[in-house]
Chains A and B, each alone.
Chain A
Amino acid sequence: MTVIQQQGQKGPVSHAIRLERINKSFGAVHANADVDLEVEAGEIHAIVGENGAGKSTLMSILYGFYSADSGRIYVADSEVQISDSKTAISLGIGMVHQHFMLVENFTVLENIVLGAEGSWSLSESLRSARKRLQEISDTYGLSVDLDTLTSELPVGLQQRVEILKALYRGARILILDEPTGVLTPQEVDQLFAILRTLREQGVSVLLITHKLQEVIAISDRVSVMRGGRMVDTVYTAQTNREELAELMVGRKVLLRVDKEPAKPAETLLSVNNITWRDDSGVPRLDDVSFELKAGEIVGIAGVSGNGQTELLRVLSGMLDIQQGSIEIDGIRVSQENQLTPKAVRHLGVGHVAEDRHRDGMVGAFEAQETAIMGFQDEPEFNSSGLLNQTAINRHCIELMQQFDVRPVAPTLKSAGFSGGNQQKLVIAREMAPKPKILLVGQPTRGVDIGAIEFIHQQIVALRDAGSAVLVVSVELEEILSLCDRILVMSEGRIVGDVAASETDARALGLMMSISRSGEQQEATE
């Protein structure tokens, strides 16, 4: 509303981009319905919405991947037809995808030049590109070593290469699709600094995300989409997370987790001096010890890549124990007595894998096949040598109904469900046998706000029923609100152990940054 008023005051306004009544359908699904959007030059404009709200479709239309069924697109106030991404680039629109489009064994320079060589001689194009990139990085304060192999760069720098790539092609409008999903908190800060510089230089940034705290932190304006429609566009300064969440979901959302204080009972899992080295001898887990008690939720906080993945894999039997031991409900597992993932499951351990696409499900499998992963050998799903289709089907329907997975379609391919519903199905599968110990990696990665609330409630309910839950998450807020006790991991070691009620994000962040050389175990106390 406010936007329109502003426009009236200013008279003829120049917009970097204006979309007018954009419509796009896929079969029966109306992905974009009469969507309007105005982005001004030099603003950071966030677009938020749940999965399937139509954000990605809208951006794909802008970048020329899809063309709209109807509607108009104006770039710098002149109407344009964007039939492919080449046209979009020539109009000054650049896109940084969620999954980077980089050739790993190319250097940074080669990656940036790829597809925009501009000369028949490669060495000549590289030379001139190097000069122009120097100018660009001076202007925007983006520095990357141009001669490093892309595969050797950390994720944050790879993303910077993607941004450079877009700017090198003359982008004045930069679309970033879920840019912070793979970044550490520090890298997020660096990214935001870059985005602010871009804004100062008059570049418009379109930020697609579902992380509301980031929207509040960086954007000038926010457009909220729901069910294919643009619900509202508001000034960030005049709104807050609760209001945005409500706009996104269409109802009041509880952002805090409602739970009673924990009543920890007997120890169900004890980890004793576990050390695990990767193939190159780097200790990914370094003398890790802790205990997990019945009736408590323990969170592992830490910048991703500091051993959390390996910890979950060792505990669930996916990686062999090299040094140290663990005790699962009284059963000792060590190098001499390794357990397979199947045996660990039989001890009453459920495991929601960190990355459902890599471990937790198979996209090409029917939902009912995904619903028995890890349980495919159980007698209840087998009869006389064959998989019992009726039992599997019934089981899947039960899981879907209990955990509100939509649609309730057991034979639909797993990849056909939205991220939140996939995650609910995976969590349902792991929680259904009432595990004594539940290992959960990134419980709500890529999950809608509405589903986050539900998943958190389920985890708390499991705790209240007397199970022990270990949660690994890179979302500090999630750890703080969901867990009773928090362990902080850094460089494969446990560097902090605090009650959730007695700490905050700042204190955790400090502990997370404790380095091996620092050795300042109690720095925050």
Chain B
Amino acid sequence: MSKRAKLPVWADVALIPLINVTLAFLAAGVVVALIGENPLAAVEVLIRGAFGYDEGVGYTLYYTTNFIFTGLAVAVAFHAGLFNIGGEGQAYIGGLGVGLVCLALDHLLPWWLLLPVAISAGMLFGAAWAFIPGYLQAYRGSHIVITTIMFNFIASALMVYLLVNVLIKPGQMAPETRDIADSASLPLMHELFAQFGIKITQTPLNLSIFVALLASFLVWVLIWRTRWGYAIRMIGHNESAAVYSGINPKKMVVVAMAISGSLAGLVAINEVMGAQGRIVLDFVAGSGFTGIAVALMGRNHPVGIILASLLFGALFQGGAELAFEFSSITRDLVVVIQGLVILFCGALAYMMRAPLERLFGLLTKSGETN
């Protein structure tokens, strides 16, 4: 009989995601075949588009940076048992913080002095935007999923108002601020490489990716090596045990949300201070939502989040190439493919678990009887 066995760790963290990604690509391949294109050719274009040449790699890593920030944001909240859907709005408002600081100080400070100030401002604004839903959840019982979604809309409306009426550079139609001075915006990667005499193609990829990697490490330290992380995980697992342990769950809900929002706010470092060099309308472009899939797939662990972000970064960049190369594969179809990956890796993440456990059960059993 088929009996389930406990999966070894490597199967749990590596094999299952790999199978899920493969399934997603198979399903996407069927879709591509249905519209009359060769799936293998499409995969080749997608992979080459994402990793095949330096410009592709640059874009892939640029998207990856955003997803790491929002993935970490979702993960921290998730450890506290909170589903933060508001990464989108928190990142957007974070952009306001980063933008205001940069616009105010860009003629006074060089980028490397401005960076810590901008990071603090982005985190603070993002945290503030997440603090309100956190507070409402903890002390008023308003469900965090509902409030964070609503706060996405509020953020969006607020930013449109500010960009159209207040922050807009006078004398233009586009609702954007003026450019941040070159000396104050984050160096793009090609500028950095040029300093060492290496020539690469210009992409939006900038220094923020190192900020993202550092943030990943710090989140790991926070969650598994500090008292706050201990308390956050405890309220996520068992609120009653947290009270018993002298932890105030309400306070920790607010703290976890604020930390989550501050991580989402860091997206603005990549976008406002780095890639765009100004605040533009809707610069977050869905990263906040992709972060949910990233965190799910990465099992809320920073290492998993970095890898999942890379996958989604590649999908975004490779997908754009796909739409460009094949006239029958439109931008919308690329979204379908991305959706399939999210479906298989996020929503259906545990679908393959039971069959795999049975398989391992069979393997271990036959190993014993032999």
Contact = CB atoms under 8 A, between A and B. Distances in A.
Nearest to A378: B227
Which of the four size classes fits the interface of chain B?
20 to 34
Interface in A345-403: 345, 351, 353, 358-365, 369, 373-374, 376-377, 382, 385-387, 389
Interface centre among B1, B238, B246 (most CB of A within 10 A): B246
Contacts of A361: 241
B244 A27 contact: no
Given A387-B226, A387-B230, A373 B238 contact: no
A345 B231 CA distance: 17
A102 to B, nearest CB: 22
B5 A27 contact: yes
A66 interface: yes
B241 A359 contact: yes
Contact of B244 (A341, A363, A382, A386): A341
A316 B245 CA distance: 10
B1 A359 contact: no
A66 B233 CA distance: 33
B289 to A, nearest CB: 27
B341 to A, nearest CB: 28
A294 B72 CA distance: 51
Interface string B293-311: 0000000000000000000
Contact of A369 (B221, B230, B240): B230
Contacts of A385: 226
B322 to A, nearest CB: 41
Nearest to B234: A362
Given A27-B6, A83-B1, A361-B241, A341 B225 contact: no
Nearest to A375: B245
Nearest to B229: A387
A351 B244 contact: yes
A384 to B, nearest CB: 11
Given A358-B238, A376-B230, A318 B225 contact: no
B244 A376 contact: no
B243 A341 contact: yes
A41 B230 CA distance: 54
B3 interface: yes
Given A27-B5, A27-B6, A374 B225 contact: no
Nearest to A389: B225
A66 B3 contact: yes
Contacts of B1: 67, 83
B199 interface: no
Nearest to B246: A342
B75 to A, nearest CB: 16
Contacts of B5: 27
A382 B238 contact: no
A385 B237 CA distance: 23
A186 interface: no
Contacts of A25: 368
Given A25-B368, A376-B231, A359 B244 contact: yes
B244 A373 contact: yes
A373 B241 contact: yes
Given A27-B6, A83-B1, A376-B231, A362 B241 contact: yes
A316 B244 CA distance: 8
Nearest to B364: A27
Contacts of B230: 369, 376, 387
Contacts of A98: none
Contacts of A358: 238, 240-241
Interface centre among A316, A353, A364, A387 (most CB of B within 10 A): A387
Contact of B246 (A66, A340, A363, A389): A340
Given A66-B3, A67-B3, A341 B246 contact: yes
A377 B368 CA distance: 47
Nearest to B2: A67
Given A66-B3, A341-B246, A387 B227 contact: yes
A359 B226 CA distance: 21
Contacts of A364: 237
A387 to B, nearest CB: 6
Interface of A: 25, 27, 66-67, 69, 83, 316, 318, 340-342, 345, 351, 353, 358-365, 369, 373-374, 376-377, 382, 385-387, 389
By Cβ-Cβ distance, the 5 closest A-B pairs, closest first, are A342-B246, A359-B244, A341-B246, A67-B1, A373-B245
10 contacts: A341-B246, A342-B246, A345-B246, A351-B244, A362-B234, A364-B237, A374-B244, A374-B246, A377-B227, A387-B227
Given A341-B246, A358-B241, 19 more contacts: A27-B364, A67-B1, A67-B3, A69-B365, A316-B244, A318-B244, A340-B246, A341-B244, A353-B244, A360-B241, A360-B244, A361-B241, A365-B237, A374-B246, A376-B227, A377-B227, A386-B226, A387-B226, A389-B225
